[in-house]
Amino acid sequence: MLEITDLTRRFGDVTAVDGVSFDVRDGILTGFVGGNGAGKTTTMRMVMGVLGIDAGEVRWGGRPVTAADQRRFGYMPEERGLYPKQRVVDQLVYLGQLKGMDAAGARRAAEEHLERFGLAERSRDRLQELSLGNQQRVQVVAALLHRPKALVLDEPFSGLDPTAVDSMADLLREHASTGVPVLFSSHQLDLVERLCDRLVILSRGRVVASGDADELRSRGPVRYRLALDRDAGWVREVRGIHVVDVDGPTALVEVVDDGAEQVVLREAAARGGVREFSPVRPALSDIYREVAA
Ligand SMILES: Nc1ncnc2c1ncn2[C@@H]1O[C@H](COP(=O)(O)OP(=O)(O)OP(=O)(O)O)[C@@H](O)[C@H]1O
């Protein structure tokens, strides 16, 4: 497990990362979400040891992380950093060797992963001849090649088409299922919600929420959908609720005072013609907007 405690980094007057704490647990995917400039990249760089830490610490396996540990992690940096003119497979073999693999083992692993991503036929191409999405896949292969002990990926899904997103997600899940902690950043909340076991939401350098999707949703407002066979405008008169929307015979209401939904239900039943009265789980995007506001 990677434990990130009170991590802080300043650039001049800007505190890019401000006392950030969260765990990246073994065997699951943790999504790191936040808007532009929230501090995701800076946090990941500190975890990987490519940027100094002003305060706080990163622990691995219960003790402070070392440079030797970080070499055994897989990292996909924001600045992708592969060589455009070098052939795909040669560059993967080279990177594998830098990570301590022998040439034959690195070649085998590279070919296996390229095959997996449908890139086997491109392995002799120069990187710059590939589409941006395929270059991205090669970049992820580079991070995975040496069977890393932990994976830290900065925006691995950006620019990928839906099929590539699915194959990338399968690959990450497969690695996670071998007990590896996986942390990846993304702007795409819907994607993170679909793929992740846990989410960490960052805003202006601070963690504003973390947990699994259900836990986060349960912090959101409780809403009910009401559908009648006649106009639902009367809900506006009910106390203890906030009316989010009324559209003819349907209404969406938010419970402000505990139990106020029962008042709505009783009133609806008394008026007759209730077709539906059901709780609505808030979308994670609503929670995100609320906590990141
Ligand atoms: N090397 C640097 N020098 C000065 N300021 C920096 C540096 N790196 C990051 N920052 C600032 O730190 C803050 C956090 O940036 P960071 O890149 O970590 O955010 P992010 O969440 O990864 O954003 P994005 O999703 O846009 O990549 C921003 O205000 C950014 O301008």
**What pLDDT score does 289 carry?**
76
Q: Give DSSP secondary structure letters for 60-81.
A: ETTEE--HHHHHTSEEE-SS--
**CA 22 – CA 206 distance, rounded (Å):** 11
Residues near 292 by Cβ (< 8 Å), separated by ≥ 6?
A: 34, 35, 38, 201, 203, 208
Nearest CA to ligand 1 atom 23: 37
What integer best gives the mean pLDDT of the chain? 91
What number does the ligand 1 atom closest to the CA of 41 have?
Answer: 22
Distance 271 CA to ligand 1 centre (A): 56
**CA 123 – CA 119 distance, rounded (Å):** 6
Nearest to 223 by CA among 205, 207, 235, 208: 235
Nearest CA to ligand 1 atom 18: 39
**168: pLDDT strictly greater than 80:** yes
To test the pocket of ligand 1, the residue of 40, 42, 188 to mutate (highest count of ligand atoms within 8 Å of its CB) is: 42
Q: Note the pLDDT tens digit of each residue in 170-208.
A: 888 888 999 999 999 998 888 888 888 899 999 999 999
**What pLDDT score does 36 carry?**
87
Contact 6, 173 (CB under 8 A): no
Nearest CA to ligand 1 atom 26: 36
Report the run of H or E that residue 212 belongs to, with start and end: none
Nearest CA to ligand 1 atom 24: 36
What number does the ligand 1 atom closest to the CA of 38 have?
Answer: 21
Across the range 30-43, mean pLDDT stands at 93
**What pLDDT score does 109 carry?**
93
Q: Note the pLDDT tens digit of each residue in 226-265.
A: 999 999 999 999 999 999 999 999 999 999 999 999 999 9
To test the pocket of ligand 1, the residue of 4, 11, 80, 186 to mutate (highest count of ligand atoms within 8 Å of its CB) is: 11
Q: Is 292 exposed, middle or buried (0-12, 13-18, 19+ CB in 10 A)?
A: middle
Which amino acid belongs to residue 215? E
**160: pLDDT strictly greater than 80:** yes
Q: Is 138 exposed, middle or buried (0-12, 13-18, 19+ CB in 10 A)?
A: buried
Radius of gyration of the chain, Cα coordinates, nearest whole angstrom: 24
Q: What is the three-class DSSP state of 14?
A: strand
Nearest to 100 by CA among 135, 133, 72: 72
Which amino acid belongs to residue 151? L
Nearest CA to ligand 1 atom 4: 11
Which of residues 119 and 217 earns the better pLDDT score? 119
**293: pLDDT strictly greater than 70:** no
Q: Which residues line ligand 1 (CB under 6 A)?
A: 11, 14, 16, 34, 36-42
Distance 79 CA to ligand 1 centre (A): 13
**CA 182 – CA 18 distance, rounded (Å):** 22
Nearest CA to ligand 1 atom 16: 39
Q: Both tokens of residue 233? A: 């405008």
Q: What is the three-class DSSP state of 37?
A: coil
Distance 39 CA to ligand 1 centre (A): 6
pTM (predicted TM-score): 0.83
Distance 132 CA to ligand 1 centre (A): 23
**CA 116 – CA 77 distance, rounded (Å):** 22
Nearest CA to ligand 1 atom 17: 41
pLDDT > 70: percent of the chain: 100
Distance 38 CA to ligand 1 centre (A): 7
**What pLDDT score does 191 carry?**
83
In degrees rounded to 5, what are phi and psi of residue 260? -65, -25
